Amino acid sequence: MNAANNASSKYRLWPIFVMPVLVVIAAAAWSAFWFYAASQVDQTVDAWRAREAASGRIYDCAKRTVAGFPFRLEVRCEDATVELRSQTAEQAAAQMPPLTARLGDILVIAQIYTPRLLIAEFKAPATLSRHGQPVMVVDWRVGRSSIVGLPDTPKSADIVFDDLAIDRMVESVRTPAARAAHVELHGRTAEKSTLDKPMIETAVELSGATLSDIHPVLTQPFNAEVGAIVHGLKDFTPKPWPVRFRELQAAGGRIEIRQSRIQQGDLIAIAAGSLGLTADGHLDGELHMTATGFEKMIPALGIDKMLEQGVPQETLDKVAPGVKSKDIDNLFGALDRAIPGLGRAVRENANVGVAAGLAAIGQEATLENKKARSFPLRFVAGAVFIGPLKVAQTPPLF
C-alpha cells in the first residue's frame, strides 16, 4: 500500500520538474535566436556601411559592441568618424580633399523581430575638418535616423534633428551658418517606381529655421515644407549625389515639386512645378507660386536697398535692356545736387514703381483666406526670377 502511494506521489510531482526544464530549454533557444539575430544585424550594419562608402560616406569606429539582450539589438559605434568624399558639386569638381566629421557615439538599434529596420541615434557635436583643421561644427539636441530594407536596396530612409545648429569655423572663431528648431528629411521609393524607371519620393520639413549664407531674407526665422519626386534616375546603386544628378541630367530627368509651403511671419508662399538640370548642373524650369503679403516681398528681397545703393547693371539688363547703371546713378546724383534729398525721393518712388510692376505680374488669388497673388517663379541656369527680376542664384548640383 505504501509502495503504491509513493508511486502515485512521484507521478503527481513530475509536472513540477517539467516546467523549469521547459523554461530552461526556451531560454536557451531564445538566446541562440538572439545571438543569430545579432549576427544578422551586424551584417546589416556592415551592408549599410558598404552602401554609404560607395556613396562617398565612409563610416569608421574606434570600438564597436553589440548588446541589447534579450529583446532588442544595439550596435554601438564609439568615437565615430565619417569621411565625406565628393558630396557637393564644388567638392567633386575641384577634387577637394575629403571632409572628416568626428562625433561622439552612434547607436544603431533593431528589434529582434524586425532586423531589417535600423534606428540610429547620433551623439553631438560633430566637428568637420579638412587637412586636420576644423571648418565647421554641427550641434543638435536630438539626432536620429531610420532605414528600412537593408541589406537589399533600402525602401525608405529618414533623419530628424531637434535644435540643429551649424557654425562655420574661421580662424577658430565660430560663425553661425544655419539654425533650426526642427528638421526632418524623408526619402522612399515612390509608389510607381519600377526597376527600369526608378523614382524617389522626398520630403523636407524645417521649423524655426534661419540660413545665413543663402539670401538675406532667410536670416529671419521661417518654416518650410517641401515634397518632391525625382524622375529619371538610372538605378538605385549607391553613388555620390553629384554623380546621380549628372546621370539624371543626361537622361532628361526632372525634379517634380509636388507641393511646397514657406511661411515667415505674415508672408506665406506655396509653389509647385517641375525643374530640370542644365548641362552644367544648374536648376532650370518653372514653378507656379502663390504668395500673400506680396507688397512686403520688396524689402524682404532687398530690392529697396538695391535701389538706394544703385541698380546693378546685371539687373538692368534683365529689367530694362540697353539702360546703363551709371546713367541712372548720374541722374540721381544730379537731382541731389539740384535739390538736396530729391534723388533719394525718386529712388523711393522707383521702389514703389517696382512693387507695382511686380504686383501686376500674374493674377489675383486667395491663399489661406488671405489676399494673394499667383505668378511664375522661373529658374534660368540657376538664376531665380520673379517676372523679369532676378532675386536669387542657386548653386550647381554637379
Tens of pLDDT along 268-299?
Answer: 999 999 999 999 999 999 999 999 987 676 66
Lookup: cell for 83: 569621411
pLDDT computed for residue 230 by the predictor? 94
CA 35 to each of CA 65, 358, 378: distance values in angstroms, whole numbers, following the listed order: 13, 66, 57
Q: Nearest-CA neighbor of 268 among 206, 236, 223, 215?
A: 223
Do 215 and 228 contact (CB within 8 A), yes or no?
Answer: no
Tens of pLDDT along 56-96?
Answer: 889 888 888 888 877 788 888 899 998 988 788 777 776 77
Burial class (CB in 10 A: 0-12, 13-18, 19+), 363: exposed
Mean pLDDT of 135-164: 90
Cα 398 from Cα 394, distance rounded (Å): 12
Cα 202 from Cα 260, distance rounded (Å): 12
Q: How confident is the model at residue 319 (pLDDT cuts 50, 70, 90)?
A: very low
Tens of pLDDT along 244-269?
Answer: 899 999 999 999 999 999 999 889 99
H or E element at residue 321: none
- Show Cβ contacts of residue 216 under 8 Å, excluding neighbours closer than 6 positions: 302
